[in-house]
Amino acid sequence: MTTYLNADLHCHSTVSDGTLAPEVLAARAKTQGVELWVLTDHDEIGGQQRATPTAQALGLAYLSGVEISVSFAGKTVHIVGLGFDTDNAPLQAGLLATRGGRGQRAQEMSEQLARVGIPDEYQGALKFVGNPELISRTHFARFLVERGTCKDTNEVFRKYLSEGKPGFVPHRWATLKDAVSWITQAKGLAVIAHPARYGFTANEEYALFDEFKTHGGRGVEVMTGSHSAAECLRYADTAREFSLAASRGSDFHSPEESRTELGALPLLPGDLTPVWELLQDRIQAPTAH
């Protein structure tokens, strides 16, 4: 398998903070020309049993997927897991624990926003939540747009929900070592998601990649909807430097909010090893064409 494959290995459904159901996303991926597809909900694999057969029946190849929230060097880092066994008990337990603090965090976010004159955010955000265990900042952002506080979710994050802003609550997620271990012991492959998003110094970023490799991580997202064209080139170099396989994923959340459509990114540079080359025996083949 080469890099010349329309693979989209990163997106979100209503099972986390996307607005489309897994089945609807699968159909959209097919329409957009995706050949190999992965649903990667945050900290949750409850959508996999819905995504897999739907994708296969539509003629898509499928890999299991998840995006795990990790705390590293004082920031939140996302680790994508691909091609793992979805019935693996330690992985399921780790994800359950990672989801665990979200309810309390959301209550605290709501209390902080009330103090700056924005009451009842928790109740309002719940209207947008598809999975009660997965209340996220995105759901808060959608309600703040609906009530007219901001014009779009980007503005909400900038003014209220990012670090240092009134609605931000620091949170302890999984460790890098745990997240990579949960994925790899379940026969999956761990990938650093959208590395340009973290705002790390050069030293912190080196430490992230170095420790990730030490723990058994093997891939990095090079082509992602979260990167500029220049950042895609830069992390292609990082993949070469650290001998990591490369991944490609839109990080699609919603037709209204996402700037990158499913399957619409440029292909990976031809000299890189695509992650799907390392996962060939984990790919679930289409059942229809």
State the residues that interact with ligand AMP by CB under 6 A: 17, 42, 69, 136-138, 153-154, 157, 253
Q: Tell me: does residue 78 bind Mn ion (CB under 5 A).
A: yes
CB of 285 to Mn ion, least distance (A): 25
- Contact segment (CB under 5 A) with Mn ion among 61-69, 119-127, 160-168, 200-208 equals 61-69
* Nearest approach, Cβ of residue 56 and ligand AMP (Å): 27
- Sign of the Cα pseudo-torsion (148, 154, 159, 163, in order): positive
Q: Tell how many helices (H) and how many strands (E) occur in the chain.
A: 10, 8
Sign of CA dihedral 73, 76, 81, 87: positive
* Residue 39: closest CA among 17, 57, 62, 65: 65
**Binding residues among 3-22 for Mn ion as defined by CB under 5 A:** 17
Distance CA 80, CA 66 (A): 6
Q: Least distance from C-beta 5 to ligand AMP, angstroms?
A: 25
**What count of other Cβ atoms lies within 10 Å of the Cβ of residue 250?**
25
Shortest gap between Cβ of 280 and ligand AMP (angstroms)?
Answer: 29
User: Shortest gap between Cβ of 243 and ligand AMP (angstroms)?
Assistant: 28
Bridge-based pairing of strands 219-224 and 189-192 is parallel
Instruction: Select 56 or 69, whichever has its Cβ closest to ligand AMP.
Output: 69
Q: Please choose which of Mn ion, ligand AMP, none residue 218 contacts, taking the beta carbon within 5 to 8 angstroms, the exact cut-off set by kind.
A: none
In whole angstroms, what is the distance from residue 146 CA to residue 126 CA? Answer: 13
195: helix, strand or coil: helix
Contact predicate 46/15, CB 8 Å: yes
Q: Which does 178 bind (CB under 5 to 8 A by kind): ligand AMP, Mn ion, none?
A: none
Site string for Mn ion, 225-254 (x = CB under 5 A): --------------------------x---
Positions in the binding site for Mn ion (CB under 5 A): 17, 67, 78, 193, 251
